[in-house]
Amino acid sequence: MAKGRVSKEDWTMAALRAFSRGGVSAVAVDVLARELAVSRGSFYWHFENRDALIVAALETWELRATTEVITASDAHEDPWTRARSLFLAALGDEEIAGLEPALGAARDTHPAVADVVDRVTRTRIAYLGSVFADLGFAPEDARHRALAAYAAYLGWLDLRRTAPAIAPETLPGTPAAEAALDHVIAMLGTLPQPEGTAGGGAAD
């Protein structure tokens, strides 16, 4: 990367990579400047201070990992296609591996992290609830399934990070991963069958 040609986005993405490696304490201006092969002065061209960088990085994560994912999901009119699209995006390739668990772990280490992580969590759970409501679940059941789905999402990413050899199905891009993901979606999205009714499948 050419010296002096580093954008604000380059700094925010470098900060997010640092978050994934070591949380808030890893977001050090001098370290990021060396990573980007620029002087410390480049940082002050874009940001007033380190806290401003942290806030910008968190807002970038919120935009890419929540706002844009929801917008893409909403492009599908069919409720089941919308649900599957959402899960595929959430559990597919990570732009920065390990970032989500690291941000969750850093929630109590900086006020900006707590604010954004809490806002993202509320937004995601509320959206999941609307997805399950569109699949035909009653409001309380949709809320419960949203919580279960979000817990599954967080656990899935943590398993991918800590035990990929034990749970290879969490690694994207393999037939085993796609089959496991389809099973999770079907399990969470299947409407309860009346007692005595055979069969059953994903809501559509």
Q: Show the low-confidence residues of the chain (pLDDT under 50).
A: 1-3, 199-204
Domain ranges within the chain, ordered by starting residue:
58-189
Domain 58-189 has CATH 1.10.357: yes
Helices and strands (H and E) in the chain: how many: 10, 0
User: Of the candidates 161, 157, 160, 177, which has an alpha carbon nearest to the alpha carbon of residue 169?
Assistant: 177
Helix (H) or strand (E) holding 49: none
Return the pLDDT at 195. 58
The pLDDT value given to residue 199: 47
- pLDDT at 93 (0 to 100): 84
pLDDT of residue 88: 87
* pLDDT computed for residue 92 by the predictor: 84
CB 131 within 8 A of CB 86: yes
pTM above 0.85, yes or no: yes
Taking the C-alpha atoms of residue 120 and residue 30, their distance in angstroms, rounded to an integer, is 29
**149-166: per-residue pLDDT in tens?**
999 999 999 999 899 999
9, 60 contact by CB (below 8 A): yes
